[in-house]
Amino acid sequence: MGVLAIQGDFERHLEAVRSCGAEGREVRTPQELDRVDRLIIPGGESSTVGMLMMRFGMMEAVRARAGQGMPIWGTCMGMILLAESIEGSDQPRLGLMEITVRRNAFGAQVHSFESAVEVSILSEPLNAVFIRAPIVVQWGPSVEVICRWQDHVVGVRSGSVLGTSFHPELTDDRRMHEWFLAWDPSSSG
């Protein structure tokens, strides 16, 4: 299991993966990406990470692996990078999900909050941490909405790609990481 380690809080995702009993590896280059079977793109600053991914050859490498069916999960900034469209921005992005996102939809960092959310892939609600979180404002027919907070779409999946607005790595609840580690996108689960 790899975690994109260019910028952002990738260490917390690595801790979460390791606490689930899996090996977690930092991924910064296409060669390191080749050594993992799935990838988490963590929170951070989306325009900076997008530019750095282009510079390091990671945009095309991640797109190629996604095309081969590799499971990819983007949290917060990671979901922004997965989007085909970002409101008011032409920043670099992977464009792997037929979604349009709105960055910082709940306000600045001082407006961060925690709330219980129901995620369709989990049996019980999850305590979600939202920090400068995006929301999905449009999605295409290939996208399944898996989580809403109030009237806002904050979790989606499509093919082998998963996106969440919130940060499950910042809680002790490892169910999202466990689910992602076991996820077989070729099945319906």
Give pTM, 2 decimals.
0.94
Residue 108 confidence (pLDDT) above 70:
no
- For the question of residue 147 being annotated catalytic, the response is no
Cα separation, 101 vs 156, in Å, equals: 11
Task: Label each residue of 136-181 as H, E or C.
Answer: EEEECCCCEEEEEECCEEEEEEECCEEEECCCHHHCCCCHHHHHHH
Mean predicted confidence (pLDDT) in 130-140: 94
Q: Please say if 13 is a catalytic residue.
A: no
pLDDT exceeds 80 at position 153: yes
Domain limits of the chain?
2-182
From the candidates 76, 98, 147, 177, give the one annotated as an active-site residue. 76
pLDDT range class, residue 105, cuts 50, 70, 90: confident
CATH code that applies to domain 2-182: 3.40.50.880
Residues 49-94: tens digit of each pLDDT: 999 999 999 999 999 999 999 999 999 999 999 999 999 999 899 9
pLDDT on residue 133: 92
From the list 13, 98, 147, 169, the catalytic residue is: 169
Q: Please determine, for residue 5, whether its predicted confidence score (pLDDT) is greater than 60.
A: yes
Q: How confident is the model at residue 110 (pLDDT cuts 50, 70, 90)?
A: low
161 vs 66: CA distance, rounded Å = 8
Mean pLDDT over 166-189 rounds to 90
Cα distance between residue 116 and residue 138, in whole Å = 23
Q: Which of 126, 56, 125, 63 shows the shortest CA–CA distance to 94?
A: 63
**Tokens (6 digits) for 183:** 């996820």
pLDDT over threshold 90, residue 125: yes
Q: Which of 13, 98, 147, 167 is catalytic?
A: 167
Whole-angstrom Cα distance, residue 3 to residue 36?
9
CA nearest 115: which of 131, 128, 134, 104? 128
